[in-house]
Structures are given as structure tokens and as C-alpha cells.
Structure 1
Amino acid sequence: MLWPATALAATTDGSEQQEAVVTLAEAAAVQPPATQTLRGVVDSVDERSDTIRVRLSPDRTEPFRVQDGLLFNAVRFGDPVTFSVQTISGFQTIVGLTKE
């Protein structure tokens, strides 16, 4: 993959070419997904679709995917929870959860 601002040309000095490769590698480095911490109350647990619905406020309930299926054994309807969420493959995914 070439970036529009990067031009590759034959050089007599190998260090310039090495610098270009390092710059491309740094640009292509994968950044870890941002983690968001939320609090709410478990509204439903759906193991078939690997989701837990959490009531974040009185008028807002959202579904979240679960990264670790063992969470289904740890929570029930009505449990207050604090959980960490990352967007993984386009889905809001619970990557950590604690009951309050």
C-alpha cells in the first residue's frame, strides 16, 4: 500500500530508502481500539446472539456483543454493572465487566 504523499524512487543512498520503508511501516501500524467505560443495569442476556442489553439511562437501552462467553454466567437481569467497551469488527463489544 502506498500513501499519496510518499514517493518511491531509486536512490544511490540506501538510507533514504530505508527511511521511506520505516515511515510506511509506522503509518501502517495498527492502533489498539479505544476503550470506553460505561455503567448501567443488565436489561437482558441473549446467549444465542452473544449479546447483553444494558440500560444506560432510563430512556436508553443498548445491545453489546460479548467477547468472553463466560460473562453470561456472571450476570442476570437487573444486575448493576460497570463495563469496558471496544468497537471490534464494527460491533460495540464488552471486553471487561464487573458487577457493582
Structure 2
Amino acid sequence: MRSTVIALAIILLPTAVAASPAYVDERAPESRNAALLSQGIAVAGSPAIETLRGVIDSVDQGADSIDIRLPSNRTERFRVQDGLIFDAVRFGEPVEISVQNISGARTIVRLLEE
């Protein structure tokens, strides 16, 4: 019995060590990402958030979008993540928005009236 346990330990221990995750310092996300990448695990970072200022040019609830006239006098269409934003905005209001690329579309994730 004892020799069976020792034989199993010799066979299984190297596999268990190879499958265990590398030491990761939880205080440093970049070391966590590097450790995961070294093990061949893909790491998805959070999408960048861009802050813009502009004026509401049009609101299209049916298409879940808002057109905003930016300071460069260019109008750009943004998708809306939360439909409650439509209740808070009106044509001509100056706003500050936080935009994130979600599923390939520039999407408003936060809107503040100025």
C-alpha cells in the first residue's frame, strides 16, 4: 500500500506542479497579466474610456443613439449604453460624455450635463 502511494505521488506530483498557477502579486495587475500570458492564457484589458465635451444635436431612441456636435464643429453619432440617458438630455444642451468602444461601436457609458 505504501509503495503504491509513493508511486502515485511520483507520477502525479510533477503534473500537479506544472498545472498550478505561477505566483502572482495581487497588488500589481501587470505581473498578473504577464504570468497569465506566460502560461498561454489570453488577457482582456478593460477598454479605454475617452472623455469628450459637446452639444446634443439629436436624439434617436429608436436607434439607441445620440448625435453630439463636438468642439471641432463635427457631429458624431454615439450609441447609448443605458436608455435612461434619453430622459436626461435635450437638444442644444452642453454635455460631457465618457465614451468606450463596446462591440465595435463608440458607446456613451456616462453623461453629465454642463
**Count of aligned pairs between the two proteins:** 87
Matched letter for residue 74 of structure 1? A
Q: 1 or 2, which has the higher strand percentage?
A: 1
1:49 aligns with 2:63: yes
Normalising by structure 2, report the TM-score: 0.68
What is the rounded CA distance, in whole Å, between the counterparts of 2:61 and 2:21 in structure 1? Answer: 49
Structure 1 consecutive aligned stretches of length 4 or more whose deviation exceeds 3 Å: 12-22
Greater gyration radius = 2
Deviation per CA, 1:18-54: give whole Å up to 9, x if none.
Answer: 46894223xx122111100000000000000000000
Normalising by structure 1, report the TM-score: 0.77
1:1-100 to 2 correspondence within 5 Å? 13-14=14-15, 15-16=17-18, 18=20, 22=36, 23-25=39-41, 28-100=42-114
What is the rounded CA distance, in whole Å, between the counterparts of 1:66 and 1:99 in structure 2? Answer: 15
Give the gaps of 5 or more residues in structure 1.
Answer: 1-11
